[in-house]
């Protein structure tokens, strides 16, 4: 490749910015300032900012191609990016210039920011993690590419009607998408269906049996590139998301037969593949379309990497020297048989050679501990959609099970447990087993989670290959979740210790002495208070919700799932309400709190939706009660997303991380809150364990069963009703719900929630209730002492640098990828 001269970046000045912005508004948007809508000006602004990053992007891409360093491909069905404008302004060091330039034209940057619709291409934690990781890789100058799906509709928009969740489509592309670059000229053909044929290659001694896939139908994948700008380091990596189109041959053929309707139907069929994000979170749905999505995006991505990013004639025997494909959960695992197919069928590799390469190219991150969340695909479906891949999976399994028998002898029970193919309740491919067999490394996402993977979920595999298993504790990007989300705290920290922390978050340690400085604490409280004010304004503007300012802000935001135990939180609220209303608690002695919930439920998850309704109904009653509302306020803004998180997290005093121990793999919400100076009330679960170890027991409110305790209770038979019978406070709270206090006297409305808690209570809400209430009493007592509380809050910030996703990336690089940042 020769050096083509790059167009130079626009001038890095207010004047340069104004010129570029007006040019965009006039030439691209086709309008003049006086008549431009907010969306016009937003689009022109986005493109202007983009231009400042363009040269760095082309340079980074060229350097990767020319130097061919070992790279990382992060394969993820979800990237929950959040808004792009602010992050791009920050990366390009344009925040002040843009604000001034716009002001000189009579425009307000803050208003334009709000015109951006966030790309919600993920459900929650898993997709947000992927977004944090690619941000860190770019900031650390690591050659990396993200591969995923460009859903036309991202995660549904949540609304409440009479307190119940309704889902509306997320039209995120409707107003234009200035951050993406379509490249239809790099389209990739993806095949599905059909059958396989055996044939013999060569003759006599050299004859080999081979298999060939004769597909039934094909679709095209069109790549859309997104910039992933590093923080002021001159690097811009790429996120490549795939969109499905009908093949040209397909519609041509049908047009020739004159069947227009059929041609359109075929096109719709193809384009359905990337139409919508599945709104399930931590439970797989056995949907054919979902398997199509998974294969579609990994087939596109592997082809793209091999054909576009490697030099021509590259020897694929050395593929592992150039790439590690990181599998973000099991959604991309079909990439394993796909690479085998490419090497064996397309490139003529012998099976063993191909396997040797394949098993060095993949690493697998497991994200769950819930057995029902481990993805399986019915053999019938997989064989129909991907017949050649099923053959390959069977052969991988045969050879793997031979290895198991060689190592452990003929223990058929063990063989059945470990097999990639499950026989019951129907014959199915266990994607986690396939991933574990193929991967060089398998990692959990927090110390406790990785331990439980080794000891329980994948224990047989850990016995066979102890060295394969490792841990990388999750992290979050300090650029988005501190520097951008919390400008007040960022300025305060930078004034105290300089701005090196933005890319070296361990430096927050240098704040520790400031925790003992009363003036610093006062200013910290001022920042917190200003952040609460911002939140109050957002809730008013966005949701028409009025909440008091300057109360303790107690926040539980995350997907609605029974294991996360939003019910435990709402039982605490109900109990406070009950004790205030009954006079047991003197209202003048209660610390005023605002409790904020944010949570979407999967549309088919009935119990989760009931819990949402319960929270909303309790909120209505509490907020309307003349006495209780003096100290308690419940707010549940609809449609919790990254944008809301960015205002909510910096305002929080108390972070609710209350899952049953042993159920939350890591959590990343917990890290965002600690880094923004909220104290955590939490169980010994996921990364809470590490947060508590780092910030110290005195600055964390621990409660509840430990994982071994919960496991022991489950073993001997858990009886939730015993807790109900023995604990009058709990009984009164549950009875209030049962007798219809929050449903206008109708006892039937929340009966399913109550009887579930009294009957099964799979996540032991009742067992942890009293311990939780006691911890909340400690919270309340501590909060009365603002000096002690803010000292602990500052220490939470100072000691949470470990939870930067930059550190996670360093751990992946050292333990799994063995790749390095690319020097200049
Ligand atoms: C961080 C984040 C999550 C993950 O929250 P957890 O508490 O770890 O489950 C989910 N959704 C959004 C929008 C987030 O920003």
Return the closest-CA partner of residue 594 out of 544, 558, 629, 641.
629
pLDDT at 248 over 80: no
CB 701 within 8 A of CB 552: no
- What residues line ligand 1, using a CB cutoff of 6 Å? 124-125, 128, 558-559, 641-642, 645, 667-669, 672
pLDDT tens readout for residues 46-64: 999 999 999 999 999 999 9
**330 Cα: distance to centroid of ligand 1 (angstroms):** 19
Only one residue has tokens 């496991």, namely 711
Percent of the chain with pLDDT over 90: 92
The CATH label, of 3.75.10.10, 3.30.470.20, 3.30.365.10, 3.40.50.2000, for the domain at 68-83+118-473+811-817 is 3.40.50.2000
pLDDT of residue 556: 98
**128 Cα: distance to centroid of ligand 1 (angstroms):** 7
pLDDT at 444 over 50: yes
Pocket test for ligand 1, best of 668, 671, 690 (most atoms within 8 A of CB): 668
Pocket test for ligand 1, best of 120, 373, 558 (most atoms within 8 A of CB): 558
pLDDT at 283 over 90: no
Which residue stretches of 598-658 are H helix?
Answer: 606-624, 642-651
Look at ligand 1, atom 7, and give the residue with the nearest C-alpha.
669
Give me the architecture of the 487-704+772-801 domain, per CATH. 3-Layer(aba) Sandwich (3.40)
Rounded mean pLDDT of the chain? Answer: 96
Look at ligand 1, atom 5, and give the residue with the nearest C-alpha.
669
- According to DSSP, residue 804 is labeled B
Ligand 1 atom with minimal separation from the 640 CA: 13
Look at ligand 1, atom 6, and give the residue with the nearest C-alpha.
669
Look at ligand 1, atom 4, and give the residue with the nearest C-alpha.
125
Instruction: Name the residues annotated as catalytic.
Output: 367, 558-559, 564, 668, 672
pLDDT tens readout for residues 602-626: 999 999 999 999 999 999 999 999 9
Q: What is the pTM of this model?
A: 0.97
**671 Cα: distance to centroid of ligand 1 (angstroms):** 10
Angle between helices 606-624 and 566-581 (to 10 degrees): 30
Helix (H) or strand (E) holding 681: strand 679-682
Return the closest-CA partner of residue 300 out of 513, 145, 529.
145
Q: Tokens representing 724?
A: 């109900």
Choice among 271-280, 412-421, 430-439 with the minimum mean pLDDT: 271-280
Q: Where in the chain is the domain with CATH 3.40.50.2000?
A: 68-83+118-473+811-817, 487-704+772-801
pLDDT of residue 265: 74
**511 Cα: distance to centroid of ligand 1 (angstroms):** 26
Look at ligand 1, atom 1, and give the residue with the nearest C-alpha.
669
Please report the DSSP string for 541-589 in residue order. HHH-----SSSEEEEEES---GGGTHHHHHHHHHHHHHHHHTTSS-GGG
pLDDT of residue 280: 79
pLDDT tens readout for residues 142-157: 999 999 999 999 999 9
CB 655 within 8 A of CB 793: no
pLDDT tens readout for residues 356-381: 999 999 999 999 888 888 999 999 99
**660 Cα: distance to centroid of ligand 1 (angstroms):** 17
Look at ligand 1, atom 8, and give the residue with the nearest C-alpha.
667
**668 Cα: distance to centroid of ligand 1 (angstroms):** 6
pLDDT at 6 over 90: no
pLDDT tens readout for residues 95-134: 999 999 999 999 999 999 999 999 999 999 999 999 999 9
Q: Tokens representing 600?
A: 């979407």
CA dist 810 and 806 (Å) reads 6
Ligand 1 atom with minimal separation from the 476 CA: 1
pLDDT at 804 over 60: yes
pLDDT at 1 over 70: no
The residues pairing with 147 across neighbouring beta strands, listed in sequence order, are 75, 240
Ligand 1 atom with minimal separation from the 666 CA: 8
pLDDT tens readout for residues 706-743: 999 999 999 999 999 999 999 999 999 999 999 999 99
Residue 356, CB half-sphere, CA atoms under 13 Å: how many?
A: 8
Pocket test for ligand 1, best of 478, 482, 645 (most atoms within 8 A of CB): 645
Residue 35, CB half-sphere, CA atoms under 13 Å: how many?
A: 5
């Amino acid at each position: 490749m020769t050096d083509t001269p790059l167009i130079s970046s626009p001038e890095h000045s207010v004047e340069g910015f104004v010129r570029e912005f007006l040019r965009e508004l006039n030439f691209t948007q086709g309008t003049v300032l006086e008549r431009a809508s907010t969306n016009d000006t937003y689009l022109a602004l986005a493109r202007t900012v983009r231009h400042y990053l363009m040269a760095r992007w082309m340079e980074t891409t060229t350097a990767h191609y020319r130097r061919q360093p070992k790279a990382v491909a992060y394969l993820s069905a979800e990237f929950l990016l959040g808004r792009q404008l602010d992050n791009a302004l920050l990366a390009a060091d344009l925040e002040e210039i843009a604000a001034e330039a716009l002001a000189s034209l009579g425009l307000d940057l803050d208003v334009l920011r709000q015109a951006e619709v966030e790309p919600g291409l993920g459900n929650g934690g898993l997709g947000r993690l992927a977004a944090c990781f690619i941000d860190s890789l770019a900031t650390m100058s690591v050659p990396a590419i993200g591969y995923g799906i460009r859903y036309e509709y991202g995660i549904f928009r949540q609304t409440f009607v009479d307190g119940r969740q309704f889902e509306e489509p997320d039209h995120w592309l409707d107003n234009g998408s200035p951050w993406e670059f379509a490249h239809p000229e790099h389209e990739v053909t993806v095949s599905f269906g059909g059958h396989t044929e055996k044939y013999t290659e060569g003759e006599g001694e050299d004859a080999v049996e081979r298999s060939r896939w004769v597909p039934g139908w094909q679709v095209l994948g069109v790549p859309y590139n997104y910039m992933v700008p590093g923080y002021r380091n001159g690097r811009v990596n790429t996120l490549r998301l795939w969109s499905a189109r009908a093949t040209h041959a397909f519609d041509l053929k049908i047009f020739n037969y004159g069947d227009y309707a059929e041609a359109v139907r075929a096109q719709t069929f193809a384009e359905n593949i990337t139409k919508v994000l599945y709104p399930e979170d931590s439970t797989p749905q056995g949907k054919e379309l979902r398997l199509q999505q998974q294969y579609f995006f990994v087939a596109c991505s592997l082809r793209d990497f091999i054909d576009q990013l490697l030099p021509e004639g590259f020897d694929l025997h050395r593929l592992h020297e150039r790439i590690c494909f990181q599998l973000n959960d099991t959604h991309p695992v079909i990439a394993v048989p796909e690479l085998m197919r490419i090497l064996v069928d397309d490139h003529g590799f012998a099976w063993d050679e191909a396997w040797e390469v394949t098993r060095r190219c993949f690493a697998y991150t497991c994200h769950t501990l819930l057995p029902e969340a481990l993805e399986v695909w019915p053999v019938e479906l997989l064989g129909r959609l991907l017949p050649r891949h099923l053959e390959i999976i069977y052969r991988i399994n045969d050879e793997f099970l031979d290895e198991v028998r060689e190592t452990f002898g003929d223990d058929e029970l063990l063989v059945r447990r470990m097999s990639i193919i499950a026989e019951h309740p129907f014959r199915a491919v266990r994607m986690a087993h396939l991933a574990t067999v193929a991967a060089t490394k398998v990692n959990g996402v927090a110390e406790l989670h990785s331990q439980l993977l080794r000891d329980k979920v994948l224990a047989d595999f850990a016995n066979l290959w102890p060295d394969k298993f490792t841990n990388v504790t999750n992290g979050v990007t300090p650029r988005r979740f501190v520097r951008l989300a919390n400008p007040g705290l960022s300025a305060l920290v930078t004034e105290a210790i300089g701005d090196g922390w933005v890319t070296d978050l361990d430096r927050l340690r240098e704040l520790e002495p400031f925790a003992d400085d009363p003036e610093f604490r006062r200013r910290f409280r001022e920042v917190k208070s200003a952040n609460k004010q911002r939140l109050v304004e957002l809730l008013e503007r966005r949701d028409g919700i009025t909440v008091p300012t300057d109360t303790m802000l107690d926040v539980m935001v995350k997907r609605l799932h029974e294991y996360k135990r939003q019910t435990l939180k709402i039982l605490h609220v109900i109990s406070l309400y009950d004790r205030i209303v009954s006079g047991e608690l003197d209202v003048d002695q209660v610390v005023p709190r605002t409790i904020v919930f944010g949570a979407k439920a999967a549309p088919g998850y009935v119990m989760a939706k009931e819990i949402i309704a319960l929270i909303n109904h309790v909120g209505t009653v509490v907020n309307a009660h003349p006495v209780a509302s003096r100290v308690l306020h419940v707010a549940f803004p609809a449609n919790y997303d990254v944008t809301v998180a960015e205002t909510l997290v910096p305002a929080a005093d108390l972070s609710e991380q209350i899952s049953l121990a042993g159920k939350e793999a890591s959590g990343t919400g917990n890290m965002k809150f600690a880094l923004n100076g909220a104290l955590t009330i939490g169980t010994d679960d996921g990364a809470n364990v590490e947060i508590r170890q780092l910030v110290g027991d005195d600055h964390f409110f621990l409660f509840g069963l430990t994982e071994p305790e919960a496991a022991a209770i489950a073993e001997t038979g858990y009886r939730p009703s015993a807790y109900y019978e023995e604990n009058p406070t709990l009984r009164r709270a549950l009875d209030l719900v049962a007798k219809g206090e929050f449903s206008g006297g109708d006892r039937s409305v929340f009966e399913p929630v109550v009887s579930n808690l009294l009957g099964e209570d799979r996540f032991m809400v009742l067992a942890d209730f009293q311990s939780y209430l006691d911890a909340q009493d400690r919270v309340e007592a501590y909060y009365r002492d603002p000096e002690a509380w803010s000292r602990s809050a500052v220490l939470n910030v100072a000691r949470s640098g470990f939870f930067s996703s930059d550190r996670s990336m360093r751990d992946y690089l050292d333990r799994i990828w063995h790749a390095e940042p690319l020097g200049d």
